[in-house]
Structure formats: C-alpha cells, structure tokens
Structure 1
Amino acid sequence: MSGILLLTMYAGCKDFLDVIPDNVATIDNAFTLSTEAEKYLFTCYSYLPPDGEISRDPAVLGGDEYWMDRAFRNFDQTNMQIAMGLQRSTDPYAGLWPDMYKALRDCNIFLDNVRNVPDLEPARMVRWEAEVKFLKAYYHWRLLQMYGPVPVMDKTLPISAELGEIQVPRQPVDSVVNLIVRLIDEAAPGLPIEILNRKEELGRVTRPAALAIKARVLVTAASPLFNGNTDYAGLRNKNDQTDLFNQTADAGKWERAAMACKEAIAACEEAGIELYRFNDPVVQLPDGPLKTQMDIRNSICQRWNSELIWGATKWYGDQTLQRYAMPPLNPNFPDNRSNMGQLAPTLKIAETFYTKNGVPIREDKTWNYAGRYTLKVASDADEPFIQQGFTTAVLHFDREPRFYASVGFDGGRWFMRDGMYTVFNKVGETQGKKGNEGYSSTGFFSKKLVNWNYVIKEKQDISVESYPWPIMRLADLYLMYAEAINEWHGPDADAYNYINKVRERAGLKSVQESWSLFSTQPTKFATQAGFREIVRQERLIELAFEGRRFWDLRRWKTSVEELNQPLMGWDVLQDNPEQYYRTKLLFNQSFRVRENLWPINQNDMLINPNLVQNTGW
C-alpha cells in the first residue's frame, strides 16, 4: 500500500475523496443517487495509467525503440532517463505506486457502497460493480507488472484502523496474480460483450477486454521474469520470511495462460472483433502493396476499428504524439515544422523487421545482409515503397510490408489522404534538419503512429484525427496465444494458425512456408526453442511502437541483452548519400538486472517498515 496513501489514510480518508464546496467529503452523498454514483464510477476509471502519452508512459521513451536529440528542450524527456540507465530509488521515474493505491481505495469504496444506491436499476448495478471489480484487478496488475510482488488492497480499511493494519507487507507474486484473476473472473459475467451506446460509452471495459487482460496477466506470470526467477531468490518479507518469488519454473502456468488466451479469443469472436482490413468509403484501394500498408497502419490509427479490444481515451494518439511522430511531410508548407518528426525509431528497430520473404534479415538466404549499409538506386519496381531513381541504403529494399507501413525513411514513400509524399531527410531538405528546428536524430520516422488524415497547413496549423491508444488489440492476443501454446508443449497446429493469421494480414506467407523456402534455418519453426524465437520477433514487429516491446523484453528477461547494445542511426547531418548512410552512434545503453522491476520509493519504505525493497535497489 502506498506510503503516501498510508499517511493520509491514518490521518483520515477524506483527502482522497472529492469534496463539495463546504469541504464535507462526498462519501456520504456519492451513493444517494445513481447520477452521483455514476460520477464515482468515472472517478474509478480516471486513474487509468497514461499509456501512449509520450511524456508519461515509460514504454514510449524508456526503452530502445526511439531516440530523441537531448538538445530538444521543448519537450519533457524525463522518461529517457530510464533508457539511459539512470532510474533511481529516490523519486523513481514514471512510477505508478501512489496513483494506483489511490485508485484501489476509490474502487473499494465504490464496491462497498454501490448496492446501497436506492434508484439504481439492478442491471446497471451489476454492470457498474463488474466494471469496478475489473478496474480493481487492473490496477493491481499494473502494480505487479512494474514492481513485482506488491501489497494487495482487497478491502477498504476504516479510519479507526491500527497502524499495524495499515503497514501491509508485500504479497508473493503468485498470490497477487491469483487475486487479479479471481477479480476478473468475478467481473466478466457482468460486463457487456460489446459497447452498444458507442456515442457515450466507448472506452469502458467489456467482457472481451477483461478476458484479454486476464490472458496478458497469465502470460506474464508464466514468463521467465515471474516464473522461477532465481534473480530474486533472496527477496523475502521481513517478519515471516515469505519468499516473494517462486523459485521453480512451472510449465503448468503456460497451460493456464493458453486457456485464458483461448477464452479471450472466443469472447472476441462473439463480439465480432476481427483483424482490421482497410475499407474507406471514399478512397478505394485495389489489393496490393499500398492496400496492405493501410491494413497495417489503420489497425492502430483508425478510430475504434474492428481489431481494437480495449482502447484508452484519456491518453491517446493525439496531436502531441502524432506531431512528434510525423515529419513536415508537405513541401508546400516548409515552415510548418515545429517539434515535428522528433520521435525517431532507432536503427536496431528498423533492422528487426523481416525481409519481403517473411524471415529475419540475418536468415534470408536471398538477401544481402552483409551489404545492408551499401547504396542502391531504386527502380520502377521499388516505386510503391521508395522514390524511383532515389539512392538509398540496401537496408530499405525488399523488406516486408510492416516495415514500409511502420517506418518512414529518406527516399521512402508515404501515403496520406491528401496525397503521396516522398521523404527527403538529408540536412537542409524538406524533412531534414533545418536550423534549430526539430528533426529525426536517427533518420527514421514513426509512420505507424500517424493517422492518414493528418493534414499540414500554413504556419503552425495542422489538422489531426486522434485515435484511442490500443491497450489491447486482437493481433496481440493471437500472438500471446501462439507463445503460450509453444511454451506449454511446443508448437502445434493452433500455434501456427494464430501466428499465421497475423502474418497473412501483414502480406506474408505462413511461418512454415517462409522458413522452409527462404531461411538458412529451414526447420527452425518446428522446435520449441526455434518457434520461441520466431514468435518473439513476430511480436516485436507486429506491436512495434505500441509500448509492448518495453514490457516484453522484461518479462522474457532478454532486456539485459537487448538494452546493453548501442543505439544507432544514420548520420543525418550530412547532405549526400555516401555520408548520410554511414551508421552513427547515438548512445551506449546500459541496463542492469535490477531494472527489470521498478524500485519502491525510499519515502514509502520509511513510512512502511514492513516493505522490502526490490533486489539491487
């Protein structure tokens, strides 16, 4: 329980409640009418973490997907301190501890009182109770994901509670997971299968969303970070020496995760949720490379599209995120470039995407991996992806559709509703560095995050169509299912089926066909270890720039390997191809095992002596 929360609770609970003008806490009034209780319901929703909010979500700037020039002073780059290995236990960066415990207290108050609202219809009461029970599970989950074993807040403590009742120790990982799963299982039957009142209720939780989050929780609980992790062998509670991490990996947890994924997929099918396909009533695109790119891009940017299981409406793909992702694309307005294009993908992310044959660039026996930084001139056959006659790096040629849908680059083609553009990113060019204005420090842009209705106008004017940030979408769930099956007992027909659904939408052949025909390891997909590597890379590609890589690397315990590599980009301050396409060191990342989990704030440790700090902090 939060140290901040502990102090205020012990002094009195009123500080965490909305108050009316005469400073009387509204707890006595909040549940006298359904209209007031609904306000309290929305208060419980208001604590949802800032996923996708560029300056507050650590999964955006805290990993290795992006780099921003630290000379840019017009933007809060605090979370880059995490990417630079500078996390701290005194006032940790991007921590959720106090906010989540405030949220849990409000959720508990709501659950204690909602059945007492005299004019609340039974059906609404059942749904509201289910929503808040899910939110209570979700806030515990977000604490678990960030801190590991945490104190649980399963009931409201009275003002008269003794100090010993408030200074709650941490619970073992498995106990926290079981609490979360129990709450979601209790909530799910009372949640709607889909939102019918789309005008007023989009963003509220549904049964498919709750079950998909349950699947994510169980997949994470079965992963190496939380399943038999000996890095935390000595992490025990002070008083009773309870082990907070199980020390023996349990394959049965993967079975449980796989069954949760299957249950969530069934709920999504019942709700009509399906992989998105581009279908604009005005712009009709024939089947081909551009249509495939739009299938991929708009699975993120199309508002409330068919693939979205749960989207965040508080923090979303708004003007700030899109402006930092988008270069000053329109050459007719060269002066409208303030802050644009600074959210720059790193070279390692560009190299993560497959070749056009659907296998890693290191493995494709037909692709020139050793010569990927050499120069090549684009022909008319390359024109859907690269400007004809443009000289650019071999790295940009013959890549899979998700590369061209997700990443903008010098010479690359960029389709928007108002036309097709080419990126010219060398110094002094339309999208390149000019004076002290913002620019891509790597030579790449986050095309995937930019809605195709984004319009650049005169001066500093732009038109942006926002979209809900995808907390969970169907492709993510499909890939979790494939991963869970493989970790449970090795790849089977279902594992291949669900990864291939995602690949087919991305314009790729099946895993079996791609590896058999083009990989230097043609039977890789047939083994558990080989398919593990495949499904992990598939996730890193399909979910690139969506905040999933940050957490996946931690749960897989591959973060020490991945986040101790140099961050590289092109030499973007050059004006000719021979110099521009030299790789340039941006930063040498340094990551330690302890950074897989957040430190608990030292102030909270002082307030609650029953808390133990995470290992290494």
Structure 2
Amino acid sequence: MRTVSIRHCALLLLALILGGTACERSLDVVPKEFYQESDLLADIKQAEKEVTRLYAALPWDFLPSTGSSNGVVFSSASDEGYANWNQSNARKYDGGSWNSNDNPLGNFNDVYRNIRVGLHFLQNVDKVPIKNATQEQIYRTVIIPRYKLEVKFLIAFNYFELFKRFGPVPIVDRYYEATENPEVLKKPRNSVDEVVNEIVRLCDEAAAGLPLTYEAQDVGRATKGAALALKAKVLLYAASPLFNGGEIDGIPVSVNGNNVKSSLLGVKNTDGKTLFNTTYDREKWKKAADAAKAVLDMGVYSLRPVQQELFYNRDFNEFIFWTQGGGTNNFENSITPNGADYGGTGSLAATQEMIDSYEMKNGYPINEPGSGYVETGYVDTTMKVFRNRVWTTVKVKIRKMYFNRDPRFYTDQFFDGMPYLGRNIITQFVTNVGSNNDGWGGSKATGQNTRTGYYVQKWVAPAHNIKDNPSTNYRNYPHFRLADVYLWYAEAMNEYNGPSADVYAAINAVRNRVGMPSLPIIASDNNKEGLRARIQNERKIEMAYEAQRWYDIRRWLIAHTPACTSVTGMNINGTGETFFQRTPILANGRVFKVQHYLMPIPVSETSIAPALVQNYGW
C-alpha cells in the first residue's frame, strides 16, 4: 500500500495523526479493500488485522536480498563486516555521510506509525462488535484480553526500536484523532529514564497475563518470556555507558576531544529539561541482571545443542521471540561466494578484525601467550563438509592462522581453502575468471566479490546448493534468544559486582554449548575489566551477524575506538604468500564522530514540531 509522507499529509509529529481523507486512504493499518479507519471497527475480524499488522511490521535487520543495497548494512557498517557491493548503503556509514535527511537505517516514522496502530487497537477493541454470536464469549473473555496484552508488548517493542537508535523520544500515551494535531505537535522528547520506565511498565503488564507457550497454530505470538526478555534488554541498555553517565570505570568518554557527557548527553528540551543521564548509577546494572535472571529462571527455554542449526532451521526452544520467515533463497543468494558453481552474489565480507576475534580452541585469544596461534605457513587437517549430497570428512590444507579456532569460526566464516559443497573456496586473485573462482578474478570493477579475502557463512544452510538444489530453507530471525540472555546476565552482574560464580556460569553456558572451554582461563579473566573484555568478545562472536554488534559498540561507547573503526583484510590483489598480508581496506578506517552514537531525528519531523529537539551534532 502506498504510504504518503507526513509533509504531504500536513500531519503532525511522527506520523501519528492522519489529517484528511487523502491520508486516511494511505494509512498502513487499513487493508487495501478499505478506505476508512472506521471500517476496522465494524467487526472483530477486521480489528484483528491491526494486530496482524503489528506482527507483520516486526523487523528482520539481517535480511540479505539480491537487488537490495540495504540488506546487510547493520553488519557491513559495524566492525564485524564490510560491504562488497559499492552501491551498498553501508558506504554512507563508512564515510560518515549519513545525516538527518539520509539515514537508511532510521525507522522513526514507520515505528511511530506502528505505535499509533497499537494505541488505536487498545482504545477501540472493546467497542468492536462480534457478529458471530457463538464466538462472543471466547473473544470477550480470552482472545481480546490476550490481544490487548500482545499489543502492549508490541508497543513496548516499537519504543525500544526507537530508543536504541535515537535515545529518548516522545511517549504517546493514547490514540490521537486528526483534529488533535496541534496538541501532539507540542509533545517534547521524554527523558531516557521515562522512556525506559514506560517500556518496562508495558512489559510488566503484558508479562502478567501472557501465556508461557502457545498451541502450534499460534506459535510466534508474544509470550510471557518475550515480555520479560524485552524488559531485561531495555534495562541492560539503560545501565550501559551511553545511557548511564557517559563514562567507563569512572572516566568520562571523549571522542576526538568531545566529552560525551557535555556533548552527546548534554541535549535538553527547549524548556531546559535534561534528557540524558550524566551521572553513573551502578544499581541500574543490578536491575538489568535481576530482569535477565527472571528469564533464565523460567525454565521454558533451552540452548540448541548445535548452534549452527539455529540459523537455517526454525527454532522454538532457544528463541524467545522472533520474526518467522518463510522459505527463501535470499541468504544463500546474497552472501555465499559468487564462484561459477556456487551462484551467490557475495554481498558481505568479514573484516580481519572480526576474524581475529575468534579465540583459539583452547580458549586463549590469538594474541595471548600460550594460545598456539601461528600466522604463517600451512597445516594439513580434516574438516566436515556436505559433498555429493552427504556429510563427509575431507582432507584439506589450510593456512595455520585458521587452524584450531573457536568452532563457531568454521560455521560463521568462509576463508581461503575452506571446503564447501563440491570444492575448496578460493578467495585469492586469479585471472581465469571462467574457473571456479570466488575471489576477484576479472570482476574487480563491479565490486561483487570479497574485498577482504573472506565471506560470511552464518545464516547459510551448509547443505544448500543454489545451483544444484534451489529449494528453500525456513528460518526464524531471533529478536531474543536464550544465549543472548545468558550474556546479558553475565555482563550486568560483572559490571555490578565483578567476576563471580554466577557470571562464569552464564558465559560458560554459551561457550560450552559450542565446545569452548570454561572461563576463567587467563589471569585477566579474574578482574572486572578483563572479564568485561571477554564478555564483550563473546557477544561479538555468539551474536555475530544478528544486527546486535551495531548497537553493542554504541551502548558500550567503544564504537569510535581504532579497534572498531579499523577495516583490514587479506591482500586480495595478491596470490600465494602475498595474499596473506594484512591490508587496509579503508586507509583511515571508518569515519566515526561523537554524534554517530545516536541517529538523527529526521529533519522532516523536527521542522514541523518545534518541541522536538535534535540529537547532538546533527
């Protein structure tokens, strides 16, 4: 359905109100066969479409798509990846050219439209007639009360979508009619604490009545666990340095000479109201830990034994809340190597910084004495691979730098010499482009091949051959999954009180699932700062390419550091030994300024709502 902009509709703040018939005809919530919002109130079956609309609007932030330049931007504009395609919107973030008029990852208008839909439903559903008399009682006593709790959760979810991008935003407490346009235009931004408290309130109300699980026909709807998980995640963000004082270990963070406290967190409303917290509150970590522990203690969810299977099968045990995806070849088409027999388009490459983050199998970081990491030379080894329609073990010769790493390395990444389907991957430069070549070959100018010497494997079904067997895989995109919650708890408890048995148990549950040894291993694992680095790296690996890293490095206030802005890879113009030379992909790294920690509110909104102050630097 065509969407009309706020400007064209002469609407108020954030696409909340639709003024006039023209806008009503384009309202997203109205099914295409209707032209008036009132049609949705004629029967419960029509009103239910508002709930459906909210579920349909749930994001899938890592969704590769051939023909789309925006599919993997969250990964390719953070330190876990790099876009191979020159036309990718990631280039705007690499160069710092995104702004309040052009922010491909922004969702300000769309999310407020979702909130408006939810508020309309809550305000009107009890007045909607149920024309089927035999269903009257079940709808009034069971279904509608549950719908209302689901919608409260979905409103909270949408507020969190805004919060993690823009920080504090206006809270809309009811559905506004078009005639109330001037009133809503005057709404200022609420503070960080007010937004967090509103999300927590909605989650608590939803969790109090939502079921633990559903019958098969309703799987995927919001549950008690989903509401508690959202509560835990927003409290984790609220406790993090970006929203909790702008400091790390008592030291204020500065970005290129800009003190975060006085710049980014110094924004106030026009009446002088403080929006951000510039004083650290340690107790916020305890609130986040307790909320995460409440999810863990439910006993409803379990870690899938084979972690890799989470990303090409539908999982209903580890996933707490998800967007359910239908059968699609998008993942295989978009991110597998584009050699002649693979048929992918290679949109996303891992950075060398990401590759180096994978520990050795013995649990040591690669730069730690005793890790056993070797940068040069080759080793003969064996690897499992799906060939000739069966799983088999094959002999391979791979670079020593890729040997004996965290098992997730071999399911997340494609590297030179790695066996995949019918042969070994080649990411080095070769001239005979008609061969099975996954590197540059003769297509340098188009930028459709790896820029770093790597491709991303996570999300790819390992037995799926686009050329040979173009069947589809059904996946779920996790918004919250159990491994994530374990890491929330480990992080929050470590920040609150340092290393403890509970902290180690939580992070080790995630590590042990993939065969990694338990912490502590090295001396620094036994202090808060050292264990913090471990927990942050564990999140980087476990949650790789799930659109988490973009937000994590921002809430931790580390996105501006060289470790996060440097972009290097192998020497893709070389062959043999010259290929295995660490080479800058971006000579000066990604551009990152203090204002890049938060997204800009669209100028189309700030220009029509004087009370809506802009984030710093935009």
TM class by smaller structure: 0.7 to 0.9
Within 5 Å, give how 1:246-395 maps onto structure 2. Answer: 246-267=277-298, 269=299, 271=300, 273-277=301-305, 295-313=306-324, 318-328=328-338, 335-368=340-373, 372=375, 374-376=376-378, 378-380=379-381, 382-383=382-383, 388=395, 390=397, 392-395=398-401
| 1:456 equivalent in alignment to 2:463 | no
- Alpha carbons of 1:18 and 1:598: their partners in 2 closer, same or farther (altered >3 Å)? closer
Residue 519 of structure 1: aligned partner: none
Task: Tell me, in whole angstroms, the C-alpha distance in 2 between the residues paired with 1:113 and 1:63.
Answer: 42
| 1:207 equivalent in alignment to 2:206 | no
How many angstroms does 1:400 deviate by?
1.6
Residue 200 of structure 2: aligned partner: 181
The amino acid that maps onto 1:276 is R
Deviations 1:466-512 (A, max 9, x none): 31112121111101111111111112111111111111111011102
- Alpha carbons of 1:421 and 1:34: their partners in 2 closer, same or farther (altered >3 Å)? farther
Give the secondary structure class of the aligned counterpart of 1:112. helix
Tell me if the contact between 2:79 and 2:565 (Cα under 8 Å) persists in the aligned partners: no
The amino acid that maps onto 1:39 is K
Task: Tell me, in whole angstroms, the C-alpha distance in 2 between the residues paired with 1:21 and 1:478.
Answer: 43
| 1:223 equivalent in alignment to 2:240 | yes
**Residue of 413, 417, 427 corresponding to 2:419:** 413
Residue 101 of structure 2: aligned partner: 90
How many angstroms does 1:113 deviate by?
1.2
**Residue of 381, 398, 401 corresponding to 2:407:** 401
The amino acid that maps onto 1:363 is E
Task: Tell me, in whole angstroms, the C-alpha distance in 2 between the residues paired with 1:608 and 1:297.
Answer: 47
- Alpha carbons of 1:561 and 1:22: their partners in 2 closer, same or farther (altered >3 Å)? closer
Tell me if the contact between 1:51 and 1:471 (Cα under 8 Å) persists in the aligned partners: no
Tell me if the contact between 1:184 and 1:210 (Cα under 8 Å) persists in the aligned partners: yes
Deviations 1:563-600 (A, max 9, x none): 663311112343x3212212222112121111010011
Task: Tell me, in whole angstroms, the C-alpha distance in 1 between the residues paired with 2:242 and 2:53.
Answer: 32
Task: Tell me, in whole angstroms, the C-alpha distance in 2 between the residues paired with 1:462 and 1:389.
Answer: 27
| 1:482 equivalent in alignment to 2:490 | yes
Tell me if the contact between 1:147 and 1:600 (Cα under 8 Å) persists in the aligned partners: yes
Residue 505 of structure 1: aligned partner: 513
Residue 426 of structure 2: aligned partner: 424
Residue 561 of structure 2: aligned partner: 561
Within 5 Å, give how 1:529-540 maps onto structure 2. Answer: 529-540=529-540
Residue 134 of structure 2: aligned partner: none
**Residue of 153, 163, 184 corresponding to 1:134:** 153
- Alpha carbons of 1:341 and 1:23: their partners in 2 closer, same or farther (altered >3 Å)? closer
- Alpha carbons of 1:164 and 1:441: their partners in 2 closer, same or farther (altered >3 Å)? same
Q: TM-score, normalised by structure 2?
A: 0.85
- Alpha carbons of 1:604 and 1:97: their partners in 2 closer, same or farther (altered >3 Å)? same
How many angstroms does 1:125 deviate by?
0.9
Tell me if the contact between 1:44 and 1:135 (Cα under 8 Å) persists in the aligned partners: yes
Tell me if the contact between 2:84 and 2:346 (Cα under 8 Å) persists in the aligned partners: no
**Residue of 438, 442, 452 corresponding to 1:442:** 452
How many angstroms does 1:326 deviate by?
1.5
How many angstroms does 1:22 deviate by?
8.6
Give the secondary structure class of the aligned counterpart of 2:237. helix
Tell me if the contact between 2:232 and 2:288 (Cα under 8 Å) persists in the aligned partners: yes
Tell me if the contact between 1:261 and 1:477 (Cα under 8 Å) persists in the aligned partners: yes
Give the secondary structure class of the aligned counterpart of 1:395. helix
Task: Tell me, in whole angstroms, the C-alpha distance in 2 between the residues paired with 1:433 and 1:91.
Answer: 31
Give the secondary structure class of the aligned counterpart of 2:552. helix
| 1:167 equivalent in alignment to 2:186 | yes
The amino acid that maps onto 2:243 is F
Matched residue count:
561
How many angstroms does 1:425 deviate by?
2.8
How many angstroms does 1:33 deviate by?
2.4
Task: Tell me, in whole angstroms, the C-alpha distance in 2 between the residues paired with 1:499 and 1:183.
Answer: 29
Task: Tell me, in whole angstroms, the C-alpha distance in 2 between the residues paired with 1:227 and 1:528.
Answer: 18
Within 5 Å, give how 1:140-159 maps onto structure 2. Answer: 140-159=159-178
Q: TM-score, normalised by structure 1?
A: 0.85
Residue 551 of structure 1: aligned partner: 551
Tell me if the contact between 2:489 and 2:503 (Cα under 8 Å) persists in the aligned partners: yes
How many angstroms does 1:124 deviate by?
0.6
Task: Tell me, in whole angstroms, the C-alpha distance in 2 between the residues paired with 1:165 and 1:95.
Answer: 21
Deviations 1:344-364 (A, max 9, x none): 111110000001111211114
Deviations 1:444-475 (A, max 9, x none): 121222023412325xx733313111212111
Residue 528 of structure 1: aligned partner: 528
Give the secondary structure class of the aligned counterpart of 2:311. helix
- Alpha carbons of 1:561 and 1:21: their partners in 2 closer, same or farther (altered >3 Å)? closer
Residue 122 of structure 2: aligned partner: 111
Between stretches 437-446 and 475-484, larger displacement belongs to 437-446
| 1:80 equivalent in alignment to 2:91 | yes
| 1:244 equivalent in alignment to 2:250 | no
The amino acid that maps onto 2:425 is V
- Alpha carbons of 1:452 and 1:366: their partners in 2 closer, same or farther (altered >3 Å)? closer
Task: Tell me, in whole angstroms, the C-alpha distance in 1 between the residues paired with 2:161 and 2:243.
Answer: 14
Task: Tell me, in whole angstroms, the C-alpha distance in 2 between the residues paired with 1:546 and 1:156.
Answer: 33
Aligned-residue identity in percent: 32
The amino acid that maps onto 2:159 is H
Task: Tell me, in whole angstroms, the C-alpha distance in 2 between the residues paired with 1:558 and 1:527.
Answer: 19
Task: Tell me, in whole angstroms, the C-alpha distance in 2 between the residues paired with 1:41 and 1:22.
Answer: 17
- Alpha carbons of 1:411 and 1:57: their partners in 2 closer, same or farther (altered >3 Å)? closer
* Structure 1: segments with no counterpart, 5+ residues: 278-294, 329-333, 516-521
CA RMSD of aligned residues (A): 2.5
How many angstroms does 1:34 deviate by?
2.4
Deviations 1:210-263 (A, max 9, x none): 21121111101100000112143421000x200000111111111110111011
Task: Tell me, in whole angstroms, the C-alpha distance in 1 between the residues paired with 2:417 and 2:563.
Answer: 29
How many angstroms does 1:29 deviate by?
3.0
Deviations 1:374-406 (A, max 9, x none): 222x224x555997462x433212212111121
Deviations 1:53-77 (A, max 9, x none): 2325642332122223344x5xxx1
How many angstroms does 1:523 deviate by?
2.5
Residue 68 of structure 1: aligned partner: 83
